[in-house]
Amino acid sequence: MSEFWLHPALILGLGGLLLPLVPARLQRAYLLLVPLLTFGRALSLAQGTFGMVDFLGWTLVFGRVDTLSALFGYIMSLMAVIGTLYGAHVREKAQHLASWLYVAGALGVIYAGDFLTLFVFWELMAFSSVFLIWFRRRPQSLAAGFRYLLVHVVGGLALLAGIILHGGANGGGLAFDAFDVASMTPAAWLVLTGFLLNAAVPPLHAWLPDAYGEGTFNGSVFLCAFTTKTAVYALVRGFPGLDLLVPLGVVMSLYGVVYAVLENDARRLLAYHIISQVGYMVAGVGIGTEMALNGACAHAFAHILYKALLFMGAGAVLHMTGQSKFTALGGLYRKMPLTFWLTLVGGLSISAFPLTSGFVSKSMVVAGAFESHLLWAGFLLNLASVGTFLHTGLKVPYFIWFGERHASDETWNRAADPPWNMRVAMMVAAALCFFIGCYTPYLYNMLPFPVTYHPYSAYHLSETLQLLLATGLGFALLIEKLKPEAKIALDLDWVYRKAAPVFARLARGPIQGLDTWVGELYRNSGLAGLVTSARHIGRFDHRVIDGAVDGLAAAVRACGGRLRALQRGQVQESLLLAFALAVAVALGFLLLRGVLR
């Protein structure tokens, strides 16, 4: 047991548990104070290994602080400040408690040095974040939350199975270090499956838009930041250079783009673009060079901020108007201009516009792909960038704030820029997006490897601007085609939303019918036969055995009665009778012998 080490997650966790005791008039101040203390603690952490606890023969490591965990701890605790500020006017304390426990889980994973600690915090994330969906309190939210939870339980089980196998193969050692990606063991595959599910890598991705589209207006701001990026951290730590991750990441980046074309719900569209953006990070981990790993980390850092900004913008629209579908919005610029401009900053950042955060982070992954001569990956990731700008930079702002007004009068009248705390949170995130994009040493000096990359070369500027402006032109030309349709796009959650009920119906119908038939058969032949034979045995028992016993008893009694009549007490009579009986037996014996001869 080492000396006490104050875990940043502990501040959030304890702060959350004390929240119900905080008087209402101090609640807002308290809501700001606790995440700020957490952020301060994350900043003050010295590098090294702390918080080691001996537990049943294992050493749990709660505090492994190195450049990698420090980077993710920094951005996640900073995001806790921004996210809490954004929802600070929400009175319900349980919502804040759920989001803080969720961040605490994420921070626990980031600083965990062994797999057991990682697993416990991993599950804490799933079980606390589901409340951010349930608190929306629609019937759909309840169902979506359960689906989210069940999927994550399955992923957690894969992770746990992998951890147990890994520990068994390692003689009980559970340190969380890089796996040997050249020779993957079954344990490593299982752990990888758990990580990939949380990173929303297709085909294990459908939980993400399902859940994030259904979260509360501020809950989704937390959701979009932590689960997938914790998984990216875990992949960087555990599987750097695993080749399979390159195609998976590239597929992800394009998959999200395709579904974003079809999506009518702004928050679900943004959720699909999480999948797309995490694809860059997963591909970066797979490429595995210092440049690409730096890119994956830098992009995760930048992504948390701009994606939260986008979800805050869409969340502000949802919070103020009650709508998140493009077909129920449109033309809101006159009512919510500030929200438009701030969301646009998020849209430009995710599209990697020069001077924004995406420009300095995303390009590291793409450049990493080209440098490793994975040309197809580089070109396809650039193609995904086109799709990103097309949807997040153009489609989302255009069809919410411009375009035809589809909003009902009620929606229109409710629309306005959101309360001050939401505006400030968005401004902070927007300012950071620009700051990261303009002052590159801020982010680059925090990365795990030394950075030699210079994003602001004439070629990179020309390449990016050509791509983005050509996309803008394409958008203008195809705007009729891009008009949102009031439809939903089926994704792989169909498998457990439709196929599972079909299976359940199958179970209720044919399978249960078969079960009933077998039961009937058993009752008619097996059970009935058994009953019949039991009845016969009973009758045999009653008639034959009982009869024999009873008959014997009756005979003995009758004989006894007769004998009693004979027995009058005289010894000589008794002796005579005995003698006569003996003679009769002897005679009978002799007679029988003579006959048998």
Partner 1 sequence: MRPDRLRNFLRDPRHRLSRWAVVVLLGLVVADVVPGWVDKEHAHTAWERLPGFWTVFGLIGCILIVLLSKGYGHAGILTREDYYDDE
> Interface residues with partner 1 (CB under 8 A)?
143, 257-259, 261-262, 370-371, 375, 378-379, 382-383, 386-387, 390, 457-460, 462-478, 481-482, 485-490, 497-498, 501
CB atoms inside a 10 Å sphere around CB 191: 28
- At a CB cut-off of 8 Å and minimum separation 6, what does 412 contact? 332, 335, 405
Is 90 in contact with 19 (CB distance < 8 Å)?
no
As measured in angstroms, the least distance from the Cβ of 512 to partner 1 is: 20
Give the nearest distance from C-beta 499 to partner 1 in angstroms: 12
> Among candidates 107, 193, 117, 131, which has minimal Cα distance to 157?
193
In the complex, the smallest distance separating the C-beta of residue 500 from partner 1, rounded to whole angstroms, is: 9
- The answer to whether the CB of 276 falls within 8 A of the CB of 388 is yes
Nearer to partner 1, 85 or 394 (CB): 394
Please, what is the minimum distance in Å from the beta carbon of residue 501 to partner 1? 6
DSSP type of residue 395: I
Looking at the Cβ atoms of 111 and 340, the one nearer to partner 1 is: 340
Q: Provide, rounded to whole angstroms, the least separation between the CB of residue 115 and partner 1.
A: 36
Which is closer to partner 1, CB of 349 or CB of 388?
388
378 C-beta neighbours (distance < 10 Å), count:
21
Nearer to partner 1 (CB atom), residue 323 or residue 464: 464
Task: Give 109-162 as a DSSP string.
Answer: HHH--BHHHHHHHHHHHHHHHHHHHHTT--HHHHHHHHHHHHHHHHHHHHHHHH
516-553 residues labelled b (16+ CB within 10 A) or e (exposed)? eeeeeeeeeeeeeeeeeeeeeeeeeeeeeeeeeeeeee
- Tell me how far apart the alpha carbons of residues 378 and 119 are, in angstroms, rounded to a whole number: 34
Shortest spacing between CB 140 and partner 1, in angstroms: 8
Q: Which is nearer to partner 1, 123 or 371 (CB)?
A: 371
- State the minimum distance, in angstroms, from the CB of residue 187 to partner 1: 36
Length of the chain: 597
Minimal distance, residue 462 CB to partner 1, in Å: 5
Specify the residue, 485 or 546, whose C-beta has the smaller distance to partner 1. 485
Q: How far is the CB of 345 from partner 1 (least distance, A)?
A: 17
Instruction: Return d(Cα 125, Cα 148) in angstroms, integer.
Output: 12
Closest CB 336 distance from partner 1, rounded Å = 20
Query: Nearest distance from residue 179's CB to partner 1, in Å?
Result: 30
> Residue 526 corresponds to which tokens in the numbers above?
């097996």
286 or 378: CB nearest partner 1: 378
Q: Give min distance, CB of 110 to partner 1, in A.
A: 34
Nearer to partner 1, 45 or 384 (CB): 384
- Rounded distance, CA 285 to CA 249, Å? 9
* CB closer to partner 1, 66 vs 290: 290
Q: How far is the CB of 299 from partner 1 (least distance, A)?
A: 19
Q: How far apart are CA 483 and CA 189, in angstroms?
A: 42
**CB–CB of 18/70 below 8 Å?**
no
Beta carbon nearer to partner 1, 379 or 442: 379
133: left (phi over 0), alpha (psi -120 to 50) or beta: alpha
Alpha-carbon distance 94 to 310, whole Å? 24
Residue 218 or 464 having the CB closest to partner 1: 464
CA distances from 404 to 140, 480, 481 (A): 28, 12, 14
Which H or E run includes 330? none
Min. distance of Cβ 494 from partner 1 in angstroms?
9
Nearer to partner 1, 114 or 214 (CB): 214
Give how far Cα 564 sits from Cα of 552, 559, 568, Å. Answer: 17, 8, 7
221, 267, 558 from 214: Cα distances, Å: 12, 9, 91
Q: Which is nearer to partner 1, 166 or 205 (CB)?
A: 205
Q: Which helix (H) or strand (E) holds 316?
A: helix 290-321
Q: Which ranges in 354-480 belong to alpha helices (H)?
A: 357-371, 375-388, 396-401, 409-414, 420-438, 440-444, 458-477
CA–CA separation, 309 vs 385, rounded Å?
18
CA–CA dist 414, 317 (Å, integer): 10
Nearer Cβ to partner 1 (338/489): 489
* Interatomic CA distance for residues 507 and 354, integer angstroms: 57
